Amino acid sequence: MRRLNRKKTLNLMKELDAFPKVPESYVETSASGGTVSLIAFTTIAFLTVMEFMVYRDTWMKYEYEVDKDFTSKLRINIDITVAMRCQYVGADVLDLAETMVASADGLIYEPVPFELTPQQKELQRMLQLIQSRLQEEHSLQDVIFKSAFKSVTALPPREDNSLQSPDACRIHGHLYVNKVAGNFHITVGKAIPHPRGHAHLAALVSHESYNFSHRIDHLSFGELIPGIINPLDGTEKIASDHNQMFQYFITVVPTKLHTYKISAETHQFSVTERERVINHAAGSHGVSGIFMKYDISSLMVTVTEEHMPFWQFLVRLCGIIGGIFSTTGILHGFGRFVAEIIFCRFRLGSYRSTSVPLPDGHTSNHLPLITENSTH
């Protein structure tokens, strides 16, 4: 009696339940359903990991505006080694405003051997390799901005070698110039002021001692920032003639850099190179030396490191999970539908027509009807 009452109570509770129930066929396990579920969960896990890597990554955003700062000074950072003795060369800057900035204001002349040590050669080869990769893959510059590693442009200290005499002059330091186009040059003789500009005392130096083979260990504009590889860092030029001119045409772009590791104002630049032998008889006029003609761009670039917001990551993650479940459900249903159609055809084909002999000797290809009388 108790069992009967309990059964009636359960039936009554089922009738009072207003929520629809999932059909029993929906919860049946199958090999195809398990395979689809395994593929779905594997795909979701893989895409979730990939999306998390995208979330952790950052990218650089570039914005351009007009540079309105024309009154501040521009800093030029220089580290160049020339294959001539220091008493034979002079370096200075002359801008479009006819303002001369002598090298004595911030540059140091240091007698050094022109040949590099093995450790210094290794650094130079690394810089040249980076420069070649940067010219082919410009996106590497973003990696350099974000990394902010220690500056690799400074040569390691030279090991003491008393057998090697200094045959070159290392000119290094910095100069502050007006924020206008100018010409930084290294040529024969020390610079002296002149009413129409400036001049160099080159009369006391013989032409046979001219050798403007040089190595640019570092050249940059603005504040020194670790991690930035400048276009001319690691450049080495060997002169093929005594009277040879090396020209670098530089376009300087003011740059504001804001990353998660550093925030500073600096300058990037692009450069075009040219070299030629001075031969007045052949119509090639000029002065032997190293000339860096720079111009300041009127546009300023703001480089900002950005990151994906967390809410956007959650939205994309929900889209991945929901999209995978929906797509696999549709594909699974479509696959079952196609399979049922194919199996139904096979089943219909199994019921082949049979021949039934007739009393008059003929045959009938129709299936015999099964009636109640024929069963007896």
Question: Which tens digit of pLDDT belongs to each residue from 339-361?
Answer: 777 777 666 555 554 455 555 55
pTM of the predicted model, to two decimals? 0.66
Q: Which of 371, 372, 354 is nearest to 363 (CA)?
A: 354
Query: Can you give the pLDDT at residue 94?
Result: 83
Structure tokens at 87: 């008493």
Listed in sequence order, the residues at least 6 apart from 315 whose beta carbon sits closer than 8 Å to its beta carbon are none
Backbone angles phi, psi at 161, to 5 degrees: -145, 95
Ranges of the chain whose pLDDT falls below 50: 151, 353-354, 366-376
Q: Where are the beta strands (DSSP E) in the chain?
A: 58-66, 73-82, 89-95, 100-102, 107-112, 168-178, 182-188, 191-194, 197-200, 214-222, 235-237, 244-258, 263-277, 289-296, 299-307, 356-357, 363-364
* Amino acid 151: pLDDT: 47
Predicted confidence at residue 284, as pLDDT, reads: 76
Answer whether 235's CB lies under 8 Å from 274's CB. no
Report d(CA 276, CA 246) in Å as an integer.
7
In whole angstroms, give the CA distance from residue 124 to residue 154.
10
Q: What is d(CA 159, CA 162) in angstroms, rounded to the nearest whole number?
A: 10
**Which residues, 6 or more positions from 281, have their beta carbon under 8 angstroms from its beta carbon?**
none
Do 47 and 150 touch, CB atoms closer than 8 A?
A: no
pLDDT of residue 81: 92
Separation between Cα atoms, residue 168 and residue 214, nearest integer Å: 9
